[in-house]
Copies of this chain bind each other. A is one copy, B any other.
Amino acid sequence: MLFFTQCFGAVLDLIHLRFQHYKAKRVFSAAGQLVCVVNPTHSLKYAPTRCAVAQTSTEQSSLPPCHHHEAVHDPQLVPCMCPLFSCPWEGHLEVVVSHLRQTHRINILQGAEIVFLATDMHLPAPTDWIIMHSCLGHQFLLVLRKQEKYKGHPQFFATMMLIGTQTQADNFTYRLELNRNQRRLKWEATPRSVLECVDSIISDGDCLVLNTSLAQLFADNGSLAIGIAITTSKVHNSEAEI
């Protein structure tokens, strides 16, 4: 009987997973795209205490690294960049990915183009959906955040950051695409370095921003599918033209 129940549960899980994949595939046309189902995490960090230095700076491009704790004595060391938890960890940039995977259980996906399927969009703010994305020899951190910038009006903010320096990040362009209900919204930009604070990127609004009603138009049964593509950056055609 126990065996039967377990088998039935496993079959149900498979059907559910298949259904989620099917939904995301319906939304995105390119064959062979990897669909990643991302569950939400209620943010345990209290946003306003983070990155006070970064947020008062008027110069975005020269934002200092986001220090979550007292001081980093070795300039080669960087603090933990996990947007979800306050964490006393510090280490070299090269080992940030393994720290985020092992300590904060953030999944990592391979592939130039993936579909990020964020579930349970209805959950109250602040909520984060996070994955890492390995592509073109680098790792990127994708953050979708539901946050109330204006009280009582939650919005969704999505951005992609390179786990590396801003000089390295300048070599790439990321694209986020929503496509449903005869509407299509595309955002393309140079990723910021993860050394900048995700909070300051979101408070600047320099990312894909969706109000709740638009997010509902793009969502399917409470899940939002975001197509993600990363390319090596070339100067935009229009800007290259004289």
Contact = CB atoms under 8 A, between A and B. Distances in A.
Contact of A150 (B28, B153, B186, B206): B153
A73 interface: no
A236 B190 contact: no
Interface residues of A, number: 34
Interface in A150-197: 150, 153, 173, 179-180, 182-190
Contacts of A183: 187-190, 206
Contact of A184 (B26, B180, B211, B236): B236
A189 B179 contact: no
A213 interface: yes
Contacts of A29: 237-238, 241
A162 to B, nearest CB: 14
Interface string A23-49: 001111100000000000000000000
A74 interface: no
Contacts of A111: none
A208 B237 CA distance: 23
B26 A242 contact: yes
A70 interface: no
A204 interface: yes
A220 to B, nearest CB: 11
B214 A205 contact: yes
A-B CB proximity, top 5 nearest: A150-B150, A184-B188, A29-B238, A186-B186, A29-B237
Given A28-B238, A185-B188, 8 more contacts: A150-B153, A180-B239, A182-B236, A184-B189, A184-B236, A185-B186, A205-B211, A209-B214
24 contacts: A25-B241, A26-B238, A26-B239, A26-B241, A29-B238, A29-B241, A150-B150, A150-B153, A179-B236, A179-B238, A180-B239, A182-B190, A183-B188, A184-B188, A185-B187, A204-B213, A205-B211, A205-B214, A206-B213, A206-B214, A206-B217, A209-B209, A209-B211, A209-B214
